[in-house]
Structure 1
Amino acid sequence: MNWIIFRDCEVTKMVTVASNEQGMTITLVVNGEPVPQGRPRFSSHGGFVKAFDPKKSVDYKNLIKAYTKDVYANMPSFKPFDDAISINVNVFRNIPKSFSKKAREAALAALIRPTTRPDGDNYLKGVLDALNGILWTDDARIVDMSCHKYYSEQPRLEVTICSHSKAG
């Protein structure tokens, strides 16, 4: 198995690429409070209605896209996956300040998980929108996807993409 790890000098991002006979796995770790896909906004100009993403969602998608530059910069032969892939998104949110010490410890042990908004699928939508056409050719290539929400003292988003064919 080959492991390639890229980290920037501030350790604000990490990209891991692993390859073996089953395929390739790419993991992106985006530090900071995760941002879900926001509801589209609408405006009308000249009788035409236009839908657009909220600025916060656009900025976060651009941040996720920026992480993929490490993959392309350090693996010039990398091409977006054109085979079956699976994607797993782990969302680590800040522990609420209102939690007692006991609740905080339970949250850190994953005994208490976030059951409040935003929904997990909104985090997943933002990641899928950001990486479509960059790490895979089309959303139709995704055969398995999951999203898990946790509490953490270090909020972040962890995205793992696995190809299901022999790495080339």
Structure 2
Amino acid sequence: MSSILFEIPGEPVAQGRPRAGKTWTGQTVLYDPAKSRDFKQYVKLVAGQHAPKELITGPIDLSIDIYRATPKKYQTKPKQALIEKGELRPTTKPDVDNYVKGVKDGLNKVIWQDDSQVVTLNVRKFYSMHPRVVVRVAF
């Protein structure tokens, strides 16, 4: 089984709710919030550096580790020790599935054909002084 492992540096961005707007003809259109759209483009840029020669077409096992910035209230020595042991982890919003949506959308047509190919998904959230997203694609 082959795998691709890479890191997306920077603060992870959860997929935002679609926004509605009107065209000049009065039609309603839905669009991604700018922050979500920009994060997906960033994911595409980083993933492009690790893309296989041909898009993956078979089943995929996907692992995503999300490292959020440590809040100020947890930047004490005792709290940092708990974070390093993995005993203090984020239990607040946004949900892991909102983070995953942005990453999976960003990997479409870069690493794989379509995110429906993901048959196994493992997601974990952590605190870190160096926010990032670590992605492992096994195929």
TM-score normalised by the chain length of structure 2: 0.91
Q: 2:48 touches 2:110 (CA, 8 Å); kept in 1? A: no
In the alignment, does 2:8 pair up with 1:30? yes
Aligned to 2:59: 84
Question: What number of residue pairs does the alignment pair up?
Answer: 137
Q: Distance in 1 between matches of 2:63 and 2:56?
A: 15
Aligned to 2:113: 137
Secondary structure in structure 2 of the residue aligned to 1:126: helix
Q: Which has the higher contact order (CA 8 A, sep 6+)?
A: 2
Residue 95 of structure 1 deviates from its aligned partner by 1.2
Residue 31 of structure 1 deviates from its aligned partner by 1.2
TM-score normalised by the chain length of structure 1: 0.76
Unaligned runs of 5+ in 1: 1-21, 164-168
Secondary structure in structure 1 of the residue aligned to 2:35: helix
Report runs of 4+ in structure 1 exceeding 6 Å deviation: none
**Quick one: percent identity of the two aligned structures?**
35
Aligned to 1:118: 94
Aligned CA-pair RMSD: 1.4
Which has the larger share of strand? Answer: 1
Aligned to 2:68: 93
In the alignment, does 2:30 pair up with 1:51? yes
Unaligned runs of 5+ in 2: none
